[in-house]
Amino acid sequence: MTGHFILSWFYHIFTIFAPYSISTVFGMQGKEIQYLQDIDWLYLRSKKENKLRQHAKVIWMCGLSGSGKSTIAFKLEDELFNRGYVAQVLDGDNLRSGLNKDLGFSVRDRTENLRRIAELSKMLISGGIISINAFISPTFKIRKEARRIIGQQDFLEVYINAPLQICEQRDKKGLYEKARMGLIKDFTGIDSPFEPPLNPDIEITTDKLDIQESVDRLLNFILPHIEYKN
């Protein structure tokens, strides 16, 4: 049933947006979006949430490279699946190899990268699907814009916190070393700033908790938000 639902969801989205290119959809204004405005999105979403017996939310994990975001995200997705929830992980690897492969790592491109991710997340939750996002999301401004696009009530900010030196020790790809040598420019934590969230919905300290402990703590926080209530 889960696979059938996801295929049906993508078909539904495709039939709505098929007449338009991606750039046109993102750039629509005024009369051009009247058709989309006429759709009762909240009603459609509630029907899908009822079918899936879950409330869709965006779980937005931010933190330095190497803090454990993606590892926790995929483990969390698996834990939710085992409990009957439908969730989708979005992270740098699966987005930058496809939808956002035209973007680099300049401030402008990073901002556009996360804007697109926020818009995609909004589409996922409109289909009743929980979106688990794992991105550095380095600045207050970027995270604020993501929250605005998605909606305050659907956005759960999770700070995956680990000290820089711990992140460097975990770095199997040697990215931090290359950044310190000047081979990678604008690398967050080295020559590009990371602004820690001041009031995240939950903070996971991965230098003190192992992966399973981190996932368990996050799961206990999330379940009351996604458990279906009539």
- Nearest C-alpha neighbor of 130 from the set 80, 58, 47, 52: 58
Helix (H) or strand (E) holding 131: strand 130-134
Q: Which one is catalytic: 70, 121, 137, 214? A: 137
Token match 């049906």: residue?
A: 8
Helix (H) or strand (E) holding 15: helix 2-17
Tokens found for residue 14: 């495709």
DSSP state at residue 155:
E
127 vs 5: CA distance, rounded Å? 9
64 vs 160: CA distance, rounded Å? 8
137 is catalytic: yes
- Whether the CB-CB separation of 114 and 145 falls below 8 Å is answered with yes
Enumerate the active-site residues.
137
